[in-house]
Amino acid sequence: MAFADPFWVNSLFLVPPLLFFWFRKGKLSLTRKQLLYISLFGFAFGIVEGSVVVYLRAALGFLPGFKGTLFDVWRLVSPLYDQTIAAQQLPQSLLTVEIIRETSTMIIFIAVSLLVASKLKERIAVFMLAFAVWDITYYIHLWATVRWPTSLTSPDVLFLIPQFWIAQVWFPILVSSLTALAVLVNTKNK
């Protein structure tokens, strides 16, 4: 699986350079303190999201050893575990709940960006930075708790809206890292 599916998801590679050049035209008016708080929010929310996925996997029987310690999970997790298959096996009721959760997550990021900044450019930067830190933390938390993903080439379901977005784990981590960098390097030093 070299490319994301559906194919248009691959266009997300354009987001970091487009943001970089747009933000470059006029530096962002965000303080270091704001950047820190936005990043802390993204970090904490990434842990919450990762925990939800761990609970969901355990509840559906996809997480061997969950009744023991995390060491039991680490020992029993299989490199053959495929998140894309697990997600496709969600009952319709849980799939609906997941779509509502994803929508709510985006609303939370929008609300934070509206609270932190008053100009459109800074609001978008806040949204993108919080999202990027959240996304990276999500994968770090999953690996630290249940040793998944087993590699950066593990396939994952990135989003469910409007359909399943599937890509290898390196894809969202790279896009998120470059997006965070585009925000950070284009912020005025305050």
Average pLDDT of the residues in 43-68: 90
- In 5-147, alpha helices (H): 15-25, 32-59, 70-76, 83-88, 92-116, 120-146
pLDDT given at position 76? 82
pLDDT in tens, 70-116: 888 888 876 666 677 777 788 889 889 999 999 999 999 999 999 99
Give the gyration radius of the chain's Cα atoms: 17
Query: Is this structure's pTM higher than 0.85?
Result: yes
> SS3 of 78, please?
coil
Gap between the Cα atoms of 37 and 27, Å rounded: 19
Distance set, CA 170 to CA 2, 33, 46 (Å): 11, 29, 17
Gap between the Cα atoms of 4 and 143, Å rounded: 21
Residue 158's H or E segment, with its range, is strand 155-159
> Identity (one letter) of the amino acid at 2?
A
pLDDT in tens, 166-175: 999 999 999 9
Residue 104, both tokens: 């709510």
pLDDT in tens, 120-165: 999 999 999 999 999 999 999 999 999 989 899 999 999 998 889 9
